[in-house]
């Protein structure tokens, strides 16, 4: 017989080997299983989109409640975590974890965990510090980074950061004028001469407010420098003046030093020396007048406002003890979360306290390698952020670089990494910096 092969042959699947109708025989492979998926896929996409949207709103709540109280911020953190789990269950994509900074972060966590072998009677306290403090802070970083993959969302969150900072700044001025803040009625912080009265706003002490303001002021300054219109430029400059005035009235000189160094970093990165230096000069005048009036420039450069640890004289004891602990256990430290217990035992002149140098405390509790891993984590984020800014000139990115650098400098003189509210702020802004540096998806 002379048979011809059809021009468009039908490729039959394994159904042709079983009994069935011709329609079943010609049905594509796996069509019966895919039929349900056709109806389920739109629902999965809708649910995924809903969790993305709600994550953004929960992040707004997290940002606004962080200065007001960590209880409210913790609730929104829980919702962020829930949305993260749902998204990863629907679309298990963890490619964002392949970045090198996550390797340093994982190494830091592992070394902190290994330090527990030296905790001795403080093992339970160390476990709580590892999982419920440091572990929770790291999850904040990861959740924020993953939730802000889109540039439009990052820009809106940047606006939320500025609005929250403006509210805190106005509350601080209200406290300064009336003697009590608007939200909790906290009285202005009374300081011994020559410090007078220090603004605290919603925070319990002026150092906490100062660490919050160095970030908010730097972000406002970044938007001021990179403003695209004159009107927006004036708005951002007014906000910068408001927040920097409040920063001056905290009398937290560690924060002052951090902010000036952060602003110099912003000028170096953006090359906007003409825009930044005059403002820094004006801010430096009241600082110099304060030092001149107090007569403590050479004698006791105080970086805090606490009673027992105000000035280098109070901190020197804590720093000396931290160095002693590092020499005793340089590789794994004395155990994560144990510094206050050792300070209460060994320092007879003051009660149990933090080291008032977060980096020394990290090394004392979990070892020098742990501190190196943490610094490599931060350094990688800063290098990536600088490289990204030089490509896109994102004002939010510039402000985050200056603000986080200022926060890191201030942490060398205080306890920011060990305060829940300040750590929530720091790690969430690190996540925002990482997302803005990576720019994983275009704007919608």
pLDDT value at residue 44: 83
pLDDT value at residue 97: 82
Give the integer Cα–Cα distance in Å for 330 and 323: 10
pLDDT value at residue 10: 43
pLDDT value at residue 107: 97
pLDDT value at residue 231: 84
Give the angle 171-177-180 at the CA atoms, nearest 5°.
60
Give the angle 297-300-410 at the CA atoms, nearest 5°.
90
**Nearest Cα to 257, choosing from 222, 221, 287?**
287
Model confidence, pTM: 0.85
Number of CB atoms found within 10 A of residue 375's CB: 15
Residue 274 exposure: Cα atoms within 13 Å on the Cβ side: 0
Cα→Cα distances 42→30, 39, 47, 273, 404, Å: 19, 6, 9, 52, 40
Q: What is the pLDDT along the chain (444 residues), one digit of tens a residue?
A: 444 444 444 444 433 433 443 334 334 444 444 434 433 568 888 888 899 999 999 999 999 999 988 788 999 999 999 999 999 888 888 887 889 999 999 999 999 999 999 999 999 999 999 999 999 999 999 999 999 989 999 999 999 999 999 999 999 999 999 999 999 999 998 776 655 789 999 999 899 999 999 999 999 999 998 877 888 889 998 999 999 999 999 988 899 999 999 999 999 999 887 777 766 766 666 666 555 555 444 333 444 444 444 455 568 888 999 999 999 999 999 999 999 988 878 776 666 689 999 999 999 999 999 999 999 999 999 999 999 999 999 999 999 999 999 999 999 999 999 999 999 999 999 999 999 998 544 344
pLDDT value at residue 312: 58
pLDDT value at residue 301: 41
């Amino acid at each position: 017989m002379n048979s011809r092969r059809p021009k468009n042959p039908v490729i039959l699947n394994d159904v042709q080997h079983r009994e069935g109708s011709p329609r079943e025989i010609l049905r594509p492979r796996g069509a019966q299983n895919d039929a349900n998926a056709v109806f389920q896929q739109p629902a999965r996409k809708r649910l995924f989109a809903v969790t993305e949207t709600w994550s953004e709103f929960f992040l707004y709540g997290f940002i606004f409640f962080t200065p007001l109280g960590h209880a409210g911020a913790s609730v929104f953190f829980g919702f962020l975590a829930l949305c993260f789990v749902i998204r990863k269950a629907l679309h298990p994509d963890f490619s964002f974890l392949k970045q090198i900074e996550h390797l340093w972060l994982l190494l830091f966590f592992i070394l902190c965990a290994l330090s527990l072998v030296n905790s001795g009677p403080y093992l339970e306290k160390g476990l709580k510090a590892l999982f419920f403090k440091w572990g929770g802070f790291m999850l904040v970083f990861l959740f924020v980074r993953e939730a802000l993959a889109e540039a439009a969302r990052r820009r809106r969150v940047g606006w939320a950061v500025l609005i929250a900072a403006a509210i805190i700044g106005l509350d601080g001025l209200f406290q300064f004028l009336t003697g009590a803040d608007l939200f909790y009625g906290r009285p202005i912080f009374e300081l011994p001469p020559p410090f007078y009265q220090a603004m605290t706003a919603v925070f319990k002490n002026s150092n906490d407010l100062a660490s919050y303001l160095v970030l908010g002021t730097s972000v406002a300054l970044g938007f001021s420098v990179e403003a695209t219109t004159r009107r927006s430029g004036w708005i951002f400059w007014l906000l910068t003046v408001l927040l920097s005035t409040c920063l001056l009235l905290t009398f937290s000189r560690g924060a002052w030093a951090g902010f000036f160094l952060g602003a110099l970093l912003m000028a170096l990165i953006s090359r906007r020396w003409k825009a930044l230096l005059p403002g820094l000069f004006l801010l430096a005048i009241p600082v110099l007048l304060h030092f001149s009036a107090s007569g403590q420039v050479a004698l006791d450069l105080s970086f805090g406002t606490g009673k027992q640890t105000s000035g280098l004289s109070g901190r020197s004891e804590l720093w000396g003890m931290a160095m002693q602990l590092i020499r005793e256990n340089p590789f794994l430290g004395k155990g994560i979360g144990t510094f206050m217990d050792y300070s209460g035992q060994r320092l007879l002149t003051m009660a149990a306290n933090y080291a008032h140098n977060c980096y020394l405390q990290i090394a004392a509790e979990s070892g020098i390698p742990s501190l190196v891993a943490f610094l490599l984590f931060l350094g990688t984020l800063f290098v990536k952020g600088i490289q990204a800014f030089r490509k896109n000139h994102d004002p939010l990115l510039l402000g985050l670089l200056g603000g986080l650098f200022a926060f890191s400098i201030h942490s060398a003189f205080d306890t920011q990494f060990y305060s829940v509210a300040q750590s929530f702020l720091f790690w969430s802004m690190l996540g925002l910096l990482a997302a803005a540096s990576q720019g994983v998806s275009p704007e919608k």
